[in-house]
A and B are shown apart, each in its own frame.
Chain A
Amino acid sequence: MIFQQLAIIPVIMLAASSLWVLVSQNWRRSILALAIQYLGVFWLISLSWPVELAIVKLVVGWVTGAVLGASQLPEIAQEGSGRSSQIFRCLAAVFVFILSFTTYPLLATWINTRPEILEGGLILIGMGLLQLGMTTNPLRVILGLLTVLSGFEIIYASVENSVLVTGMLAVVTLGLALVGSYLLNVAVMDEPAEDTP
């Protein structure tokens, strides 16, 4: 009940955390922001689903963050970037926020659900796409894809509540984290020796 009354809070959480993921130059802070983002995702999904099913998203999201965090190598963790880049990203994010808040009524004509769910979902989809369009760094790309998928899952949860789909989406989310972890380390991986045929 309290989740429903305070539904605007997770939208603000999602906007702030996705902005943090976009702007932050430090991978630890980005992953922390991702964890907060999944808290907001859980909150909004719990408006459509029972809490015991919605919590799957939170657990999977946090495990995803843990997998990505555990695979960071010190030498590729630093990403140098100037202040102008951060300002540009902030301005682009503001544009996404404005777009999300102005276009959600259009989406509401298609999907009949609470406005907070649509706003939160659109913010994450927009911020994720923005992230994907601005980088080729594997960590950033995976964060972008996870953000887009989270936004989609928030909206999709309001129209579909199949347990199997939830499970399969959880597998895809974890798979993305594992792929991200692999891509972050692949260049420095050693080849084990093969038996002589």
Chain B
Amino acid sequence: MSAPLLWIVFPLVIAVIFWLLQARPTLVIILATVICALLALLAWSVPIASAVKLGPWTFEVGSSLDILGRQFVLNPGDRSFLTLIYGLGAFWFFGTHIAGAHRHFIPIGMAVLALMVAALAVQPFLYAALVVEMAVLLSIPMLVPPGRPVGQGIVRYLIFQTLALPFLLFAGWAAAGVEANPTDARLLLQAVTFLGLGFAFWLAVFPFYTWVPLLSQESHAYETGFMLGLLPSVMLLLMLNFLDNYAWLRAYPLLPVALQLCGALMVVTGGVWSAFQKSLPRLFGYAVIIESGFALLSISLQSEVGFEVFAVSLFPRMLALALWALASSVFEEQGITPDFDGIRGQFRRYPLISSGLVLAYFSLAGLPLLGGFPDRLVLMANLAQVSLPVMLWVLLGNAGFLLSGLRLLATLVSGTQEKWQVNEAWPQAALIVIGAVGLFFIGVFPKFFLSGLLSILQSFNHLY
């Protein structure tokens, strides 16, 4: 038994089985939730590449799997990420029926999860670009289910993600050249340029992010939320992989400046545009852009604390995006248009969904006592030491995002004098409460919940 077999091949096989079982959605939901939870539990409890004693039996989960002469390697340091990705997968899949997601969601979602793990595990890691592209292509039927028109957002998503592929493959070739000849400044510039453009397309860095709000608006909130919650996190981890593997890249003097500029531009422009939005899906898109911006800013610090901030921010970010997508989908399921006019006064009719939405929003905005606050506070403090003007600009962008959150809260509680009532079904209420309480507890006890995530950095030995 090897770890890639368990966390990559097995979920892929299961995804195919789920595809064949699509006519029985309830069974698929139960199985997907249980399997993802089990995979998360195994990742959390079973060590990789060391002997495990279970009663009279002793076994070892190997770390590598050979396919066509290439290796897929999952190290002990990857266990936290596996726990996170499959744990959140269980959350997403459990909410499928509640959110009214399409029956394609679970089979494709499961395959996408497995491919994302494969992208992180493949050696040489340059092949990750091809694996991610396959995941992107696979996600299209999930984002545009049968019967829906094809919008501009999905077309741009496909274009931008595909355009990243040539740049990243060329970057890999150029990087190998730099390794062989580190003094060649021209080759170095070439590698950094290709790499920069590849990641700019992948991460929807300014100005390539127009597709994010468009896609959020066109596709189902839950399915878009799944992809937009997962993709940037995995791509940022792949960026860390590049940084970890290439000393010349870490030492490149313009790298922190470029990352800082891109991150700040994403937060500032995303925050300012979000202040003028009235549509919840578009706001969600801007939230994803802002979060990617903050992640880039934390990596730009290029210090131990910066990378730790990045690692611990993954869980609250993904949980908050999941909660937002769930709340937004449930509103849509109830026939409520997901914009400020549609949700006016809905707090009295759907208090739990509304609370979940507001808590997720404010967690992403970095409000105290919520999951996003601890890492945001440390990031801003460290950013101020590096560059106070950049920190102030970032604060301005965050203020724009927060302003829209206050408008959202005011809209939800305003309007009618209707009596308070709880119209949520119990599964909706249960999932929303789990997510909201999770965000609250992360904010209040960050060390207890987030310290485990620091082990994600064990896979990267040369970062700092």
Q: Chain A residues in contact with chain B, CB under 8 A?
A: 109-110, 132, 136, 138, 141, 144-145, 148-149, 152, 156, 159-160, 163-165, 167-169, 171-172, 175-176, 178-179, 182-183, 186-187, 189-195, 197
List, in ascending order, chain B residues with CB within 8 A of A152's CB.
Answer: 165-166, 169-170
How far apart are B274's CB and chain A's nearest CB, in angstroms? 25
For B69, give the chain A residue with the smallest CB separation.
A164
Stretch of B23-31, B292-300, B390-398 contacting A (4+ beta carbons < 8 Å): B23-31
How far apart are B311's CB and chain A's nearest CB, in angstroms? 29
Contact of B148 among A145, A149, A186 (CB under 8 A): A186
List, in ascending order, chain A residues with CB within 8 A of B1's CB.
Answer: none
With A141-B159, A183-B144 already in contact, the answer to whether A156 and B134 are too (CB < 8 A) is no
Q: Which 3 A-B pairs have the closest CB atoms?
A: A189-B146, A197-B26, A152-B166
Contact of A141 among B137, B144, B158, B186 (CB under 8 A): B158
A114→B103 CA distance, assembly (Å): 50
How far apart are B55's CB and chain A's nearest CB, in angstroms? 38
Contact B148 A165 (CB under 8 A): no
With A156-B166, A194-B103 already in contact, the answer to whether A175 and B137 are too (CB < 8 A) is yes
A148→B149 CA distance, assembly (Å): 25
B residues 132-172 in Cβ contact with A at 8 Å = 133-134, 137-138, 140-141, 144-150, 152, 154-155, 158-159, 162-163, 165-166, 169-170
Contact of A156 among B23, B24, B154, B173 (CB under 8 A): B173
Q: Chain B residues in contact with chain A, CB under 8 A?
A: 22-26, 68-70, 103, 127, 130-131, 133-134, 137-138, 140-141, 144-150, 152, 154-155, 158-159, 162-163, 165-166, 169-170, 173, 186, 190
List, in ascending order, chain A residues with CB within 8 A of B68's CB.
Answer: 163-164, 167
A189→B69 CA distance, assembly (Å): 40
How far apart are A79's CB and chain B's nearest CB, in angstroms? 15
How far apart are B449's CB and chain A's nearest CB, in angstroms? 34
Contact A186 B147 (CB under 8 A): yes
For A132, give the chain B residue with the smallest CB separation.
B159
A179→B154 CA distance, assembly (Å): 11
A122→B140 CA distance, assembly (Å): 28
Contact B69 A192 (CB under 8 A): no
Contact A148 B166 (CB under 8 A): yes
How far apart are B23's CB and chain A's nearest CB, in angstroms? 5
Contact of A172 among B26, B137, B141 (CB under 8 A): B137
A190→B146 CA distance, assembly (Å): 7
With A156-B166, A156-B169 already in contact, the answer to whether A191 and B146 are too (CB < 8 A) is yes
With A186-B148, A187-B150 already in contact, the answer to whether A165 and B103 are too (CB < 8 A) is no
How far apart are B25's CB and chain A's nearest CB, in angstroms? 6
A159→B154 CA distance, assembly (Å): 32
A156→B170 CA distance, assembly (Å): 7
List, in ascending order, chain A residues with CB within 8 A of B134's CB.
Answer: 168, 171-172, 175
With A132-B159, A186-B146 already in contact, the answer to whether A149 and B166 are too (CB < 8 A) is yes
List, in ascending order, chain A residues with CB within 8 A of B23's CB.
Answer: 192-195
19 contacts between A and B (CB under 8 A): A132-B159, A138-B155, A141-B155, A144-B159, A148-B162, A148-B163, A149-B166, A165-B130, A168-B130, A169-B130, A175-B138, A176-B162, A179-B140, A182-B141, A183-B155, A186-B141, A186-B149, A190-B147, A191-B146
With A145-B158, A183-B144, A189-B146 already in contact, the answer to whether A176 and B137 are too (CB < 8 A) is yes
With A172-B133, A172-B137, A194-B103 already in contact, the answer to whether A179 and B158 are too (CB < 8 A) is yes
A71→B148 CA distance, assembly (Å): 17
A175→B173 CA distance, assembly (Å): 24
With A160-B173, A195-B23 already in contact, the answer to whether A183 and B137 are too (CB < 8 A) is no
A182→B69 CA distance, assembly (Å): 33
For B70, give the chain A residue with the smallest CB separation.
A164
For B166, give the chain A residue with the smallest CB separation.
A152
With A138-B150, A160-B173, A172-B130 already in contact, the answer to whether A183 and B140 are too (CB < 8 A) is yes
With A148-B166, A156-B173, A172-B165 already in contact, the answer to whether A186 and B150 are too (CB < 8 A) is yes
List, in ascending order, chain A residues with CB within 8 A of B147's CB.
Answer: 186-187, 189-191
How far apart are A11's CB and chain B's nearest CB, in angstroms? 19
How far apart are B377's CB and chain A's nearest CB, in angstroms? 42
For B126, give the chain A residue with the smallest CB separation.
A165
How far apart are A145's CB and chain B's nearest CB, in angstroms? 5
List, in ascending order, chain A residues with CB within 8 A of B154's CB.
Answer: 183
How far apart are B22's CB and chain A's nearest CB, in angstroms? 8
A152→B165 CA distance, assembly (Å): 10
Contact A183 B166 (CB under 8 A): no
A183→B147 CA distance, assembly (Å): 10
For A174, give the chain B residue with the smallest CB separation.
B137
List, in ascending order, chain B residues with CB within 8 A of A145's CB.
Answer: 158-159, 162
List, in ascending order, chain B residues with CB within 8 A of A138's CB.
Answer: 150, 155
For A182, give the chain B residue with the smallest CB separation.
B141
Contact A183 B150 (CB under 8 A): yes
How far apart are A104's CB and chain B's nearest CB, in angstroms? 16
A138→B144 CA distance, assembly (Å): 13
List, in ascending order, chain B residues with CB within 8 A of A186's CB.
Answer: 141, 144-150
How far apart are B345's CB and chain A's nearest CB, in angstroms? 33
Could you say which of A132, A136, A165, A179 has the most chain B C-beta atoms within 10 Å of its C-beta?
A: A179
